[in-house]
Amino acid sequence: MPELPEVETVRRSLEPSILGQFVRHVILDTPSVWRGADPDTVTGLRITFSKRRGKYLLFFLEPAGTEGLAYWLVVHLRMTGRLTLQGSPDPVRLHTHVRIELGGKTPQPVWLIFQDTRRFGHFSLVPAQSADQLPDVLPCLGPEPLDAAFDAKVLGRQLFGHGRLNLKAALLNQAIVAGIGNIYADEILFASRLAPDRLAGSLDEAEIGRLAEAIRDVLLRAVEQCGTTLKDYVDGWNRKGSFQHCLMVYGRAGQPCRRCDMTIQKKKLAGRSTHWCPACQPYLPA
């Protein structure tokens, strides 16, 4: 489920309630979702910083005094993971895997709850050098598309060497650009008027420019709308996103294109269902 806009929305919704809080207690209901250092290691540490990198959420945990190690708590929600806040550890809803009690800043404790139906999501707890140095448990990730530095030149450089990869696969490749998943890949390609099966190496300069612009534009608009809720996704306070109302192609196979009325097509590409408008996104450049 969660792609960059959803993960960013979760991060922003959690931040005010968890920054500056101390970890009081970690209840690990499903041990297999936890990797790295023992959960008890973080008891007494304070959350001082949160960050998103691609689809990863990172929390920086610092010791209260000068003694002890700092840690990164790295979370990936995969398809159905949810990170929400509640006032108590109960009720324990179905598919709850981790419950973390936070306190110290607020009079009442706050509980950070991790639920994940499919159990693909996971936590990694790793020692940290500094908040500037991201942990090496993160895989190789491409540039952040919402960073100011991201532009056509950066995208062109990232695509170089992947000339024979189709655009759908290229956008889904986290090492080329971080944070794009199946929904936004299709929406981005529609916005840039490029066919999903065009090869990355076949783009001219103008097309790379359109693609870079569409990546930023679609993701920014989706963040403004607090993400896309199709089924499971909610933010830290159980609120749904609203970008599902803005989708132009994803999930619209057989329906008329919102721009030209042509029927939206669907086929499997890069192993994922891919939606596009054959008129707005002709295979051959217009």
Partner DNA sequence: AAACTAACCTGGGGGC
Partner DNA sequence: TGCCCCCAGGTTAGTT
Stretch that binds DNA, among 13-21, 42-50, 142-150, 221-229 (CB under 7 A): 221-229
- Within its chain, how far is the Cα of 34 from the centroid? 19
- The 3-state DSSP class for residue 241 equals coil
Cβ–Cβ < 8 Å for 192, 283: no
Dump the DSSP string for 23-84.
EEEEEESSGGGEEES-GGGGTT-EEEEEEEETTEEEEEEE-SSSSS-EEEEEEE-TTTEEEE
Q: Residue 73 Cβ, how far from DNA at the closest point, in Å?
A: 17
Quick one: which segment of 67-75, 102-110, 218-226, 230-238 binds DNA (CB under 7 A)?
A: 230-238
Here the tokens at position 278 are 């054959």
Rank residues 2 and 236 by Cβ distance to DNA and give the closer one: 2
Catalytic member of 52, 55, 193, 198: 55
In terms of CB distance, is 22 or 233 closer to DNA?
233
The distance of closest approach from Cβ of residue 183 to DNA in the complex, given in angstroms and rounded to an integer, is: 5
- CB-based burial, 191-220: b 16+ in 10 Å, e otherwise: bbbbbbbbebebbeeebbbbbbbbbbebbe
2 is catalytic: yes
By CB under 7 A, tell whether 84 contacts DNA: no
Among 47, 75, 165, 257, binds DNA (CB under 7 A): 165
Q: Is the dihedral of CA 51, 167, 218, 80 positive or negative?
A: negative
Residue selected from 10, 169, 188, 218 as contacting DNA according to rule CB under 7 A? 169
d(CA 173, CA 112) in angstroms, rounded, equals: 30
The helix (run of H) or strand (run of E) holding residue 181 is: none
Q: Does 6 bind DNA (CB under 7 A)?
A: yes
Task: Please select the residue that binds DNA; options are 36, 39, 54, 145, rule is CB under 7 A.
Answer: 54
Query: Applying CB under 7 A, does 36 fall inside the site for DNA?
Result: no
List 28, 146, 230, 246, residue binding DNA (CB under 7 A): 230
37 belongs to the binding site for DNA (CB under 7 A): no
Are the beta carbons of 277 and 249 closer than 8 angstroms? yes
| Local structure of 122: helix, strand or coil | strand
Complex with DNA: residue 46 or 275, whichever CB lies closer: 275
Q: Which of 2, 5, 143, 196 is catalytic?
A: 2
Based on the shown chain and the rule CB under 7 A, indicate whether residue 158 belongs to the binding site for DNA: no
What is the amino acid identity at position 216? R
Nearer to DNA, 158 or 281 (CB): 158
Contact yes or no for 47/102 (Cβ under 8 A): yes
Q: Which candidate in 144, 272, 278, 282 is catalytic?
A: 272
Work out whether 53 is an interface residue with DNA (CB under 7 A).
Answer: no
Task: Verify whether residue 3 is a known catalytic residue.
Answer: yes
User: Is the peptide bond prior to 91 cis by the omega test (within 30 degrees of 0)?
Assistant: yes
By beta-carbon proximity to DNA, the closer residue of 69 and 160 is 160
The answer to whether 51 touches 144, Cβ cutoff 8 Å, is no
Rounded Cα–Cα distance for residues 273 and 74 (Å)? 29
Q: Which two tokens stand for residue 272?
A: 């994922």
**Hey, which residues between 15 and 34 contact DNA (CB under 7 A)?**
32
Q: Which residues are catalytic?
A: 2-3, 55, 272
Write out the residues near DNA by the rule CB under 7 A.
1-3, 6, 32, 54-55, 76, 78-79, 94-95, 117-120, 139, 161-166, 169, 172, 174, 181-183, 227-233, 269-273
